[in-house]
Structure formats: C-alpha cells, structure tokens
C-alpha cells in the first residue's frame, strides 16, 4: 500500500469542489443570475465515480489515515449512486417547499463528502471527524423547512440525540487510546490481538462506547428514537438521502472498526450485537405494522433493515462480510426509489403521506404504482428483486456462523413486514377511493431516477453474481 500522495482523497475532493461551486452559484443566483446548481453536483459525482474506477485495486493511502482500498471504494461507489439518485428526485421537493437550492445542494454534497471520508478513514479520530461533518450537514438539511414546526422538531431531536451519541463515541476513542496508545485501526488491532487472551475492563468499555456511537447512526434499538420523527419531519428527498447515505457510511465504518481492529475481541462483543440485531429487527417490524403514515412506516422499515445488516456483521464470516456491501447497495437503490415515489406524489396543499392516500393510484398513475410495487416487494424480500438476494445471503451467513436463532428471527420478522408492504400494494390496486388524492405532475428527471432505481433493483435480483463477486473481492482488502 502506497502511503504517499493525495490520490486516496480524490473522490471526496471532487464532491467537496462541487459543493463549493454550488455555494458560489447560489451567490450569483441572489443577484438575479440563473445558475444551474443541480448539474454541478452531478459533475462532482461523475468525477468521484471516475476516480473510484481509477483507484480500484491500487490500495492507495493518504497521510496514512485515508485508505482507498476496495472496501472503501465499493462503499464510495454506493454513495455516488445515492448522491446521483438523491439529486434527481430533489426537484419536486425543492419546488414545492421553496427551499434554497444552493444551500440544499451544498449541504447534501458536504454530507456526502463526510460519508466518503467515514467509509475510507483508517483512524478513529478521522472517523469521528467525518461523522461530525456528515451529521452537521444532515441536521441542517432536516430542519431546512424553517417555517415548518415538524421539521424544526425533527432537526432538534436529531441534533440533541446526535450530540449525545457523539459524546459516547468520543469517550470510546479516548478509552481505546488509553488501552492501545494509538487511534490508528491497524495499531489498535495489533495491540488488542496481543492482549486478547485477557481483555481488561477498559478494553470492554471502549468497545461498548464505540458500539453505542455506531448504533445511533445505524438506527439500532434502543438508539433508534430519533429516526421516525426525523424521517417524517425532514423534506422527503432529504429523508431518502439520509436513510441510505448515512446508513451506508456508518455500516462501512462499523465493519472496518469491529471486524478488523476489534476482531480479536469478537467473543466479547458478538453476543451484545446479537441482542441489538434481534431487538432492532423485532422493534422495526412490529411497530412498523401499526403506522398509518408511509414515511413513518418506511422509517421503521429502515430500522428493521439495519437489524438485518447487523446480522451480517455479527456473523463475521466471508459470506456475511460481502453481504454487508451487497445489502447496502440493494437497500440504497430500493429505499431511495420508495421515498422518491413519496416525494413526487406530495402536493403543496396536501402531503399525500397517509396510506389511504394511495388508494386507486393504479387508476391515476399506473407507472408510479408499478414502480412503488417493485420497491415495496424488494424491501419485503420477494423474488425476483434485489432485496430477496440480499436477505438470503444475510440469513445464510448467520446459519453458517451458527447463529440459527438469529436467522429464524430475521425470517419471521421479514414475514411480518410483508403485511405493511403489501397493505400499500393492495391500497394502490384493489381499493377504490371516494375522495382520491390529487397528485402533481411527475418531473422527467425524477421519473428517470425512479426508473433507473427499479431497473437496478430487478438487476440485483436476477443477475446478482457480478456485484456479489465484486463485494467478495472488496472485503479481501481489509479483512
């Protein structure tokens, strides 16, 4: 691995440059100039995608703290997909809510740069810095509707609980430094491996504190309280972005820290993660059944899917490690698609967020009904969609690792979750409405993004081998 040069930070540098360009363009807009801001973000993501392709298999490092290994580059690629699709579905929300475009796009791009840094950082302090970069941007995006009480409440809750979890994470870093004398993941792993036969109380405390910090970001029970309110109160396009991008970056860092640096202590933390995974799957599914708001239902669905990803991490075998990457990609395109449909169906006078608002959608917008059906069935784990393959590999990893009961809980909660996904499908196709909701016209860019998401969901379900092989090869660079 080459420790010199700046090549490892090129992807996030492209996105950061696009964010600065968006801020500059907003300044010109305020003077009456019409500057296209959205395409600037697209240019930044294209640059990041090209740099990921050029860095593949080169294992470059910058400053010894940012590592462009294939694991980090795969996650960066997922974040590029998330960013492009989020930009494409943002127009309806920006027009309807009259949000400041420059501020919106700049914050989204800065948050993405923080996510990329978090996925490729090999130092705990840098992971914390990346976590704060993305968190601060997402806090502001959540409360960007300044005249909305629900948006302000969501941002306030998210900020308070986020600050609370950051304190846990920072204490975990401090304890880890006290135990190992370093914050570099490679050094931490070496020292802990040498002392793993007799772990000290301070080692266990550092693992527990770091676990709390990560559990908050991935919406794991019991640190999930902010998720439904934040997802419901934020603009829908922001909800789509943070429900996928933040989760992808957090799980990438989670896997890098716990499956590499703290792998010698796996016997100590695996049962704790086992319990969190089981509680997260059960809570997200059971409470999701009771929801009448589509956004809150998808929020609890997101919590449950975080539990499935924790199953892959606790399994800690080759299947589970590669399943994390494949699941992140599948979940990202599926969830952005589902929230994208919600975003384009919202109206300035009526949120159209109730499940009953989707009654008769097949008769008025058959294309959107078909797309929403694909996304919901994929989230529920139906073949031949990507969600089925992702869950199959996660549960297979759990069985191979000997966690049979965890796999049983995952299968049962998946079966229960089918109820609230199919409830919307039945509403769209089989339930006439006496007072049908009025839906606005669908912008072409948003429609294209939804179609691309649906194509990717079907592709990942029918022809997953290429992506699975890519994920399997990616984990070999760090595990």
State phi, psi for 382 to the nearest 5 degrees.
Answer: -85, 140
Domain ranges of the chain: 7-475
Report which of 249, 457, 231 is spatially closest to residue 333, judged by C-alpha positions. Answer: 457
pLDDT in tens, 375-410: 999 999 998 999 999 999 999 999 999 999 999 999
pLDDT in tens, 344-367: 888 766 677 788 888 888 888 888
CA 236, CA 218: separation in Å to the nearest integer? 19
Predicted model pTM: 0.94
pLDDT in tens, 202-222: 888 999 999 999 999 888 988
- Indicate the average pLDDT of the chain: 88
CA 74, CA 225: separation in Å to the nearest integer? 30
Residue 444 contacts by C-beta under 8 Å, 6 or more apart in sequence?
A: none
pLDDT in tens, 11-57: 999 999 999 998 888 777 655 556 677 888 899 999 999 999 999 88
Q: Which residues pair with 66 in a beta bridge?
A: 62, 121
**pLDDT at residue 1 greater than cutoff 60:** no
């Amino acid at each position: 691995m080459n420790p010199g040069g700046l090549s490892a930070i090129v992807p996030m540098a492209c996105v950061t440059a696009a964010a600065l360009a968006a801020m500059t363009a907003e300044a010109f807009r305020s003077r009456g100039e019409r500057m296209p801001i959205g395409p600037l973000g697209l240019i930044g993501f294209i640059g990041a995608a090209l740099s990921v392709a050029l860095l593949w298999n080169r294992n470059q490092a910058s400053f010894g703290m940012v590592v462009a290994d294939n694991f980090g580059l795969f996650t960066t690629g997922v974040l590029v997909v998330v960013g492009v699709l989020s930009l494409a579905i943002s127009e309806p929300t920006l027009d309807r809510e009259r949000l400041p475009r420059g501020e919106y796009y700049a914050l989204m791009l800065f948050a993405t740069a923080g996510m990329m840094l978090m996925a490729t950082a090999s130092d705990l302090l840098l992971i914390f810095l990346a976590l704060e970069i993305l968190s601060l941007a997402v806090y502001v995006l959540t409360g960007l509707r300044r005249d909305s009480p629900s948006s302000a409440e969501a941002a306030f809750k998210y900020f308070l609980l986020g600050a609370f979890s950051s304190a846990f994470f920072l204490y975990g870093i401090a304890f880890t430094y006290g135990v190992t004398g370093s914050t570099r993941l490679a050094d931490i792993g070496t020292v802990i491996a040498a002392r793993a036969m007799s772990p000290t109380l301070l080692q266990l405390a550092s693992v527990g504190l770091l676990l709390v910090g990560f559990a908050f970001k991935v919406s794991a029970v019991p640190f999930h309280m902010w998720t439904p309110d934040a997802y419901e109160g934020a603009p829908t396009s922001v909800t789509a972005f943070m429900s996928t991008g933040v989760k992808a970056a957090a799980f990438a860092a989670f896997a890098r820290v716990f499956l590499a640096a703290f792998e010698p202590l796996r016997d100590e933390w695996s049962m704790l993660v086992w319990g969190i995974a089981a509680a997260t799957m059960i809570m997200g599914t059971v409470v999701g059944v009771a929801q009448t708001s589509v956004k809150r239902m998808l929020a609890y669905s997101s919590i449950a899917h975080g539990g499935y990803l924790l199953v892959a991490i606790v399994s800690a075998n080759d299947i589970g490690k590669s399943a994390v990457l494949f699941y992140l990609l599948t979940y990202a395109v599926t969830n952005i698609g589902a929230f994208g449909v919600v975003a384009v169906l919202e109206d300035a006078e009526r949120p159209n967020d109730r499940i009953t608002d989707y009654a008769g959608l097949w008769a008025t917008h058959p294309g959107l009904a078909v797309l929403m059906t694909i996304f919901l069935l994929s989230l529920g784990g139906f073949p031949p969609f990507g969600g089925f393959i992702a869950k199959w590999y996660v549960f297979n990893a759990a069985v191979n690792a000997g966690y049979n009961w965890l796999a049983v809980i995952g299968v049962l909660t998946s079966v229960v979750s089918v109820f609230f996904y199919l409830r919307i499908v039945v509403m769209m196709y089989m339930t006439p409405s006496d007072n049908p909701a009025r839906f606005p016209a669908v912008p072409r860019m948003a429609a294209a993004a939804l179609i691309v998401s649906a194509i990717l969901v079907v592709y990942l379900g029918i022809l997953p081998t290429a992506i699975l092989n890519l994920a399997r090869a990616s984990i070999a660079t760090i595990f």
